Amino acid sequence: MRVVRSEAELESSLRMAQNEARSSFGDDSVFIEKYVDSPRHIEFQILVDEHGNAVHLGERECSMQRRHQKIIEETPSPIMDEKLRHEMGECAKRIALAAGYYNAGTVEFMVDKDKNFYFLEVNTRLQVEHPITEMRTGLDLVREQLRIALGEKLGFTQNDVKFRGHAIECRICAEDPDSNFMPSTGKIVYMNRTLGNGMREDTGIEQGNEISIYYDSMISKLISYGATREIAADKMKRALRDFVIQGPKTNINFLLSLLESPEYLPGDYDTQYVERTFLPRLKSSEMEQKKEITPALENALATASVLFKEKSEKSNAGLKTVTKSKSTKSSARSWLNRKRI
């Protein structure tokens, strides 16, 4: 993929994209589409049966991403209004019906700063983040998908769909944020979490499991639900603080830091936020803290090292004295014998 910002860049960028396509896929065909700078990524859950009935179950905000991979999703989107929801939801249904598609699915869009939306793709399956839609609508999407597969008609219309509250999902991954998010493997030696009211976890792991190199790094989905966005966010932060995994490294503290960032609750972020704003600020903050702490810490470590060395030398000297003293050995044996009696 190449971003072209001027006509002068078009020919060279097209040539590079064709060369990459040819070497990777044996086909140099490329297509050109509008580039939306710093968009939001918003998707709509749809259900469509083979009888021509379609409903949407509202949007999911998926803009909190790292390297184009979603890490926090929520519904509703903080930028959504009823007019935009209606337009995007109806568009999602038309796309599916025009394609003759029936199943559960997700229609994904990009939304610019002026709330213009652009079709991205359709995922013809249930998404990782489908639980937040279940929490907000009260529907079991797996059950609805199976009913569609059996040839049944949808049991409800668009007007029957009711949205309540707010839901957030965090993807907990076995990766090391301090090492450029490299995947982390190994045995889970300890695992504990406290899930209070309005919390849900979808996972397939437990204490004692081995995290290997052969699968995706995501090991758990943590979902919170509350009457408002603020309540759902507070529940999620509390659950993340109480979530403990020892063994492989995880992104739990990273997710917590994102939720506590000044941009999160106001909804002031887009798909570029993590790379452009959050990570550079986090790195700068860590460097400042290191500058402030290092001199005092170095002095403390030096003092501790000297004291530890002196204590070790005294301990070793005492040990040698005991070893060389026959009378001390005899006394020790007598004491041990008395203790056995």
Tell me the domain boundaries of the chain. Answer: 1-32, 40-286
Q: What is the pLDDT along the chain (341 residues), one digit of tens a residue?
A: 789 999 999 999 999 999 999 999 999 999 888 888 889 999 999 999 999 999 999 999 999 999 999 999 999 999 999 999 999 999 999 999 999 999 999 999 999 999 999 999 999 999 999 999 999 999 999 999 999 999 999 999 999 999 999 999 999 999 999 999 999 999 999 999 999 999 999 999 999 999 999 989 999 999 999 999 999 999 999 999 999 999 999 999 999 999 999 999 999 999 999 999 999 998 887 766 666 656 666 677 678 777 777 776 766 665 554 444 444 444 444 444 443 33
The one catalytic residue among 125, 164, 241, 276: 125
Helix (H) or strand (E) holding 265: none
Q: Among 134, 136, 146, which Cα is nearest to 103's?
A: 146
Active site residue 143: no
CA–CA gap between residue 66 and residue 338 (Å, rounded): 68
Closest to 88 measured CA to CA, from 125, 52, 42: 42
Give domain 40-286's CATH number out of 3.30.470.20, 3.40.50.2000, 3.40.50.300, 3.30.200.20: 3.30.470.20
pTM to 2 decimals? 0.80
The one-letter code for the residue type at 130 is: H
